[in-house]
Structure formats: structure tokens, C-alpha cells
Amino acid sequence: MPSFLLLEVLFIFLFSGVPLSHALQEVHVSRETIGKISAASKMMRCLAAVDFLFLIDGSHSVGKGSFERSKHFAITVCDALDINPERVRVGAMQFSSAPRLEFPLDALSSQQDVKAKIKRMVFKGGRTETGLALKYLLRQGFPGGRNASVPQILVVVTDGRSQGHVALPAKQLKERGVTIFAVGVRFPRWEELHTLASAPREWHVLTAEQVEDATNGLLSALSTSALCTAASPDCEVQPHPCEHKTLETVRELVGSARCWRGSRGSKAVLAAVCPFSSWKRVYRSHRSTCYRTTCPGACDSQPCQNGGTCIPEGLDKYHCLCPPAFGGEANCAPKLSLECRIDVLFLLASSAGTTLEGFLRAKAFVKRFVQVSLSEDSRTRVGVAWYSGELVMAVPVGEYRDVPALLQSLDSLPFRGGATLTGSALRQAAEQGFGSAARTDQDRLRRVLVLLTESPSQDEVAGPARQVRARELLLLGVGTEAVRAELEEITGSPKHVLVYTGPQDLFRRIPELQGKLCGRPRPGCQARSLDLLFLLDASVSVGPENFAQMQSFVRSLTLQFDVNPDVTQVSLVVYGGRVRTAFGLDTHLTRAAVLQATSQAPYLGGVGSAGTALLHVYDKVMTVQRGARPGVPKAVVLLTGGMGAEDAAVPVQKLRNNGVSVLVVGVGPVLREALRRLAGPRDSLIHVASYGDLRYHQDELLAWICAEARRPVSLCKPSPCLHEGTCILRNGSYRCECRDGWQGPHCGNRSLRGDAPKARGSHPEPAEGQQPYPSQQPPRRPGRPGR
């Protein structure tokens, strides 16, 4: 073979693997409109009598991946069809070297059956003989169809690379009244798609690579003939500019170079100049118009105020991303006044440790609070003081003309520097800051001192803080992580501390501060008996820092309950590479002991299994032998990031069947599907975006616990009968039928003789919220069975 031919063959070999084209259909609209197109595709329905036939390309040029996308497109279209023998009938054919009927139009009578059948279609492979498939339909008609008595819709899903002629059979089908949609997959030849499709081509040429857009386009075209309609009368079909783009790989002459030519029979060679080429990718585009249905969106009315960004959630729901200070309000609308009558004194650190930047942040925070919280008719009065080595009372509480005057006073506050004597400042602020304002009116029952600092105190704070709280002042602390512990000591509770990480995060704390100012402490279900268990994910997927935040959250919740053996019992179980009971229901008899034990719970690491942990709770913790009380509501709160929850569905149901309520708190930006399956019939599931946001869901969790505490309970769930005794409900009480060898009200004592009669215990049912009578409970320590 001549050498120049070898060179040509080499070029062909090197570039034979380069894809010849990459096709796209782009609708030139905003991202918001794309979202509306997607949402509208799910709201359209086809209710008229019509025959739908999907003709799906299963040839090698399409490939198995694109074949699966073609099936997905067909299934998505079926979601909009009212499939039944009287209205919409659906059939499917696959073609490659020859057409193959997957199922006729009269074979399946429900949407579910049709979608399942399409999903089970198997890729054939072979040549792309689109023309043969069309000729089959010309001869046989729509298999199982109603002939021409109803509209006939043919949806051809192909890459447009037929190895035969398609123009004539396509034309003949259209002349018989068949409407043809040409839907491209992979890298289609747009010219062939236009040849296949009915007129106007802009309505009937689509691409299955963008499923929701293609579905909208197909249904929009059918809506012009009243075969399909949108759910809302306000929806309308609109034209949008679009482009059919193809990325082609072309060969381009670059130049020439010296090469050698010769023959095998001769040693002679001849020098010559041979051309050489390179390959280049270029876009070819064809401008067009695409018709899509859009419906009015929830954000069209611009409901978010004060610079908030509206994020649509479907067509009728939305949420607002609000700027700082407006994040807690509906539609980012400011509350012009607090909904309570209080006196508030802001105490700002102006020391060297806080720095000028920190002092200016605190001033800006107070200004923003005043702007969004106070109005001319506000029932809240505000004062401002600052300190370093000594206290300066800038504005005593209530002693300002109006809000603009208060803002002007805030602007004039100077930065001093010097020492940070917080303890001394607290004492002086309590004595001087409120003046006579707190005593002028009997409705003003609350006085609040809000401390803002970023620097640890250089004097003692515990004693002055106790003196301030003894004067019936509520202390709240706002600061960075560096002073969290000190602020908790000053305020007396982690619930009274707001920690921020930066200037914007500080402004986001304003709604939280408003809630703490006007909110009264809402204790948990203190009047009701409750067995409460916290199950914490301590696996490596959570990490020690996030586990510590869960511990803090559990401590905060525990503060809401009256912990003692007659009201609320609390247990804690942690799980990671293993499961460990940190303490049982009857281990700690006081709230202080529970708080301390919660802080000491170990982080385990390892790979966790929520299912294994829940079975541990079922078998070894939430049982009468381990402290659970008969006739008392029982609740388990599972806090997890979601990893390792795939095996938890059965254990959760076992607990619920045994009378134990289970709430799942899933933490993470995306709620895992495994957690959704654990919600149960009462939607016992709370999604928290991050571990730092747990505190914002405390009220929601308390409401769930208290609701469960009010639900009626069965005296036999969990069974109070020990040693496999059978609990039998009867006339508002229960009795235990004991197995041979056991006796007593709860089958807790061995019989002296194996043939002794079975002991029965009968007990009145306790009133709702009351502790069962002592005779209803297994004996407590010492000597508890099974301990």
C-alpha cells in the first residue's frame, strides 16, 4: 500500500471515536420561566378520547442509555393522560431492524399498568429502519386503536438517523389524519425530525433529553385542539425564542509537509508534499420558536418585601429569602412593634477587648432592632448604656422623645477602649438603667437587660449576675462563641444566650431576640407523666462537634420537664459502631442529674445503624423491667443525620405497635428518603437544615412530645407482665396471667411449687396524666426484676 494511503488510514483510525455531533435545544428564557415550564408540565391533563402510540427507536445508534431516557419521557407524558378504554388509550412499539409491538392500545386500561409496561421494555439493538416502522403502521393501522373515530397521535422518539427513506411514509400517515410528534434523543439529525413531524414544525419537534420541557411542548400542542388542558384557567401557551444547536466535528486542512512515496519492488523513493488536516468542533445552530405553557407563579405578585428574594415552590407556594433582621417575619415584612409591654436596656461593651469593629457591630444591631421593633405607638420602651472600666448611661429606659431621637442618640455613642469590667457594669446598669420607668405602670411586669459583648470580663461576673436576677430582671446575652460560656453563667441558662459568627449572622438574630423578649417560658408537659427517651446518632457521619450540639439541644429540652419518678423519666441512648445506654429511665431521679449525665454521654464514632439502635431501645430500655411505667405515655426522639437509617423502618414500627411514639429529627440540607419512610401515619418527622439550627425547632418538638403525652395509652403496652406473662385488659384495668413457675401481680415472684395456680392482678386504670397506682408498677430498686 502506498505510504500516503497509510497516512490517510491513520487519520481515519485516530478520529473514528470522535462523536460527530452533540445536539441541544435551548429555550431562551429566564431561570424563573424554566421553572414555570417545568411546574406547568405537571399540571396539564389530557381527558379527551384519543389514541396515543409511542414509536421508540431501539437501534444501536441510539444506544441503551438514550433508550432508557426515551422510556422515561414516555412515562412522564403518561402522567398527564387519563388512561382508560373510554378516553385515552396508549400503545407502544419499538423499532430497529424491524418493528416490534410492545403492547397494543387496547391491552392496558390504567395509567399504572401502562407505565409499568413501558418501564419493562427491553432494548433490541440493530439498524435504524424508521421507514419500515412507518410502513407497518400504514398497513396495519394503530394496533388495538379505534381507527379514525378518535384523534390519533404518533410520538416518534428517535435520533433521526434512519437507514431508509422516511419522507413518503410519514407524509402518507399525516394525510390519513395522524398527528406526528418527532422527539429527538442522543445527537439527532434535526432535518429528519422536521421531515417526520406534522406542521407546524415548531409545535411538533422536541427533544427527550429535556424531559419536562418536551412534555410541556407536546401537551401544549395538544391543548390547541382541546385534547389537553391546564389545571388553572390562568395558564396560557406562549411563544419563546429557542435554538436547535448541533456541535459538529469537522475536518480542516491545516497545511502540508514533506512525505515519502515508493513501492515495494523498488528501492527508489520520491519526495513529495502531502496535505495534513486537523479536527475542529464547531456549533451549528438553527433559530426557531418553541411554544410552551406557563402558569402564573406564586412569586409573580412579588410578595417578599424589604429586598427579600421570592423562591417558588411549585405554582402556589413560595418562601422568602429575607435580608438580615427580617428573616423571622412572613414575607420579610417588619414587625413595627413588639407584641408585649416590656422595658429593655441594651448594655454594650466598649472596651479594648471588644475592639472598635465589635462596638460598631453592636451599635448597628441595636439600631436595626429599634427600626424594626419600635413605632410611635409601641408599648416597648428601650434604653442604652455602654461600658469599659465604668458604666455610662447614654439613654435611660423610656427617656427619649421618639424613635428618631433614640436612633440619633445611638449614632453618637463613642468607643472608649480600656478594661472590660462586665460584672461592675451589670450591677450599675440594674441600679441606674431603669430609673422610675419600671414602676410607673402595673402592666410593665417585665424588665430585660440585654448584654452585647465580644470580650471576656476582667472582673467577677457570677455574683453581680445573681444580684441582677434577684431584682427580677431577665438577663439576655448576645456575643461570639468566645464568650458563650461566660454569657451562660451571667444569664443562668443557655436558652438566654444568642451566639453569632459574623455581622450578617448577628442581624439574623433580631427575630430570635424579639421572641425571647416577648415570649414567656413555656414549660414542657409538667402536669403529665411521661417516659421520654432520646436516641442520638454518635456515628462518624455526625462527628464530635455536631454530637456536642445535639447534647446541648437535649439539655435545653430537658429543662422543660419536671424530672422525678412520679412525673417525667428521661433516658439517653447513643449509637455509632455500637449501641450504648448512657442512662436508663429510672437511673436519674432529678433534672440536675439528667443534665450532668447528658453532658457526659460518649461520642462513639464508627458506622451507625439506626435500626439496631431502635431494636436496643425496644428490647433493653423501653421495658417495664428497665423502668418503663405501665399506663404512662412513652416517646422516643431519634436525632440523626440520616446515614444508616435504611434498616430502621421495621424497628420503628415495632415500637409504635408496642405503644411507644417515635419522632424522627433528620438533620442535613437534604432530607434522606430513608428518614421519610420513618414518619409514620402521623407524620412524626422534623427536618432541620443543620445541627446549629436545632434550637430553632425546640418549640415544635415540645409541642409534639406534649401532644403524644395527651394521647390515650394502653395499660398493656409495653406489657407490665414479667417473665413472658400475658397482659389482659378487662373493664378499664388489666391482669397478668403468669406462666408456670411464676406468680404475683406482675409475675415477678417464683412459685414455691411448679403447679401453683397462676396469679392474677386487677388494677383500676389511672386518670389521664396521672401516675399509675403503685400496685400497678413492678417493684422499684432494690430487687427490681431483671436488674
pLDDT tens track for 258-274: 776 655 555 556 567 78
Q: What is the pLDDT of residues 459-476, one digit of tens each?
A: 999 889 888 887 778 899
Q: Is residue 443 over pLDDT 90?
A: no
User: Are 324 and 413 in the same domain?
Assistant: no
Q: What is the pLDDT of residues 293-324, one digit of tens each?
A: 888 777 776 777 666 677 777 666 777 877 65
Q: Are 622 and 655 in contact (CB under 8 A)?
A: yes
pLDDT of residue 131: 92
User: Are 363 and 389 in the same domain?
Assistant: yes
Q: Buried (b) or exposed (e) across 179-188, using 16+ Cβ within 10 A?
A: bbbbbbbbbb
Q: Is residue 602 over pLDDT 80?
A: yes
Q: What is the pLDDT of residues 333-383, one digit of tens each?
A: 655 456 678 889 999 999 999 988 889 889 988 988 888 777 766 778 899
User: Are 39 and 183 in the same domain?
Assistant: yes
User: Are 641 and 512 in the same domain?
Assistant: no
Mean pLDDT confidence for 142-163: 89
Q: Is residue 168 over pLDDT 90?
A: yes
Q: Buried (b) or exposed (e) across 337-352, using 16+ Cβ within 10 A?
A: ebebebbbbbbbbbbe
pLDDT of residue 575: 94
Instruction: Tell me the pLDDT of the chain averaged across its residues.
Output: 81
Mean pLDDT confidence for 101-105: 94
pLDDT of residue 558: 87
Using CA atoms, how far apart are residues 645 and 636, in angstroms rounded to an integer?
15
Using CA atoms, how far apart are residues 728 and 722, in angstroms rounded to an integer?
13
Q: Sheet harboring 391-395: ordered strands across?
A: 391-395, 381-387, 342-349, 446-453, 473-479, 497-499
Higher pLDDT, 624 or 105: 105
The top-scoring range by mean pLDDT among 106-120, 443-457, 657-671, 735-749 is 106-120
pLDDT of residue 682: 64
User: Are 75 and 37 in the same domain?
Assistant: yes
pLDDT of residue 679: 78
Higher pLDDT, 770 or 527: 527
Provide the pLDDT confidence category of residue 444 given band limits of 50, 70 and 90. very low
Mean pLDDT confidence for 5-10: 37
pLDDT of residue 320: 81
User: Are 106 and 182 in the same domain?
Assistant: yes
Is 701 part of a structural domain of the chain?
Answer: yes
Using CA atoms, how far apart are residues 206 and 239, in angstroms rounded to an integer?
14
The top-scoring range by mean pLDDT among 450-459, 509-518, 701-710 is 450-459
**Which of 56-60, 98-102, 383-387, 648-652 is least confident?**
648-652
Residue (of 484, 359, 366, 491) closest to 418 by Cα position: 359
CATH number of 510's domain = 3.40.50.410
User: Are 209 and 323 in the same domain?
Assistant: no
State the total domains in the chain: 5
Tell me 298's DSSP state: T
Last residue of a domain, one of 518, 552, 567: 518
The top-scoring range by mean pLDDT among 22-36, 53-67, 771-785 is 53-67
Amino acid sitting at position 717: K
Residues with Cβ within 8 Å of residue 187, at least 6 apart in sequence: 19, 20, 21, 22, 23, 159, 246
Q: Are 433 and 345 in contact (CB under 8 A)?
A: yes
Cell triple for 269: 523513493
Is 254 part of a structural domain of the chain?
Answer: no
Last residue of a domain, one of 648, 681, 709: 709
**CA angle 552-555-558, nearest 5°?**
155
Q: Is residue 610 over pLDDT 70?
A: yes
Cell triple for 586: 429510672
CATH number of 313's domain = 2.10.25.10
pLDDT of residue 436: 53
Amino acid sitting at position 131: G
Q: Sheet harboring 726-730: ordered strands across?
A: 726-730, 733-737, 763-764
Helix (H) or strand (E) segment spanning residue 22: strand 21-27
Q: 558 lies in which domain range?
A: 530-709
Q: Is residue 784 over pLDDT 80?
A: no
Q: What is the pLDDT of residues 384-413, one digit of tens each?
A: 999 999 999 998 888 887 888 888 888 888
Q: How far apart are the first and last CA of the chain?
A: 93
Is 728 part of a structural domain of the chain?
Answer: yes
**Which of 73-77, 281-285, 618-622 is least confident?**
281-285
User: Are 346 and 363 in the same domain?
Assistant: yes
Q: Is residue 276 over pLDDT 80?
A: no
User: Are 655 and 744 in the same domain?
Assistant: no
Mean pLDDT confidence for 640-644: 86
Is 256 part of a structural domain of the chain?
Answer: no
Provide the pLDDT confidence category of residue 89 given band limits of 50, 70 and 90. very high
pLDDT of residue 445: 58
User: Are 329 and 417 in the same domain?
Assistant: no
Tell me 331's DSSP state: G
Q: Are 617 and 573 in contact (CB under 8 A)?
A: yes
Is 509 part of a structural domain of the chain?
Answer: yes
Q: How many CA atoms lie within 13 A of 515 on its CB side?
A: 19
Higher pLDDT, 370 or 285: 370
Higher pLDDT, 477 or 14: 477
Helix, strand and coil in the chain, % to nearest 5: 30, 25, 40
Provide the pLDDT confidence category of residue 732 given band limits of 50, 70 and 90. low
pLDDT of residue 440: 42
Q: Is residue 452 over pLDDT 60?
A: yes
Using CA atoms, how far apart are residues 55 and 66, in angstroms rounded to an integer?
14
User: Are 301 and 411 in the same domain?
Assistant: no
Q: Are 638 and 610 in contact (CB under 8 A)?
A: yes
User: Are 104 and 125 in the same domain?
Assistant: yes
Higher pLDDT, 504 or 455: 455
Q: Are 320 and 65 in contact (CB under 8 A)?
A: no
Helix (H, G, I), strand (E, B) or coil at 391: strand
Last residue of a domain, one of 709, 728, 758: 709
Residue 172: C-alpha distances to residues 181, 305, 520 (Å)? 15, 58, 79
pLDDT of residue 522: 47
Residue (of 18, 36, 26) closest to 209 by Cα position: 26
Higher pLDDT, 111 or 758: 111
pLDDT of residue 437: 43
Is 552 part of a structural domain of the chain?
Answer: yes
Is 265 part of a structural domain of the chain?
Answer: no
Q: Are 31 and 254 in contact (CB under 8 A)?
A: no
pTM for this predicted structure: 0.43
Residue (of 60, 59, 49, 94) closest to 74 by Cα position: 94
pLDDT of residue 780: 40
Rounded CA Rg of the chain: 37
Other Cβ atoms closer than 10 A to 37: 25
Is 775 part of a structural domain of the chain?
Answer: no
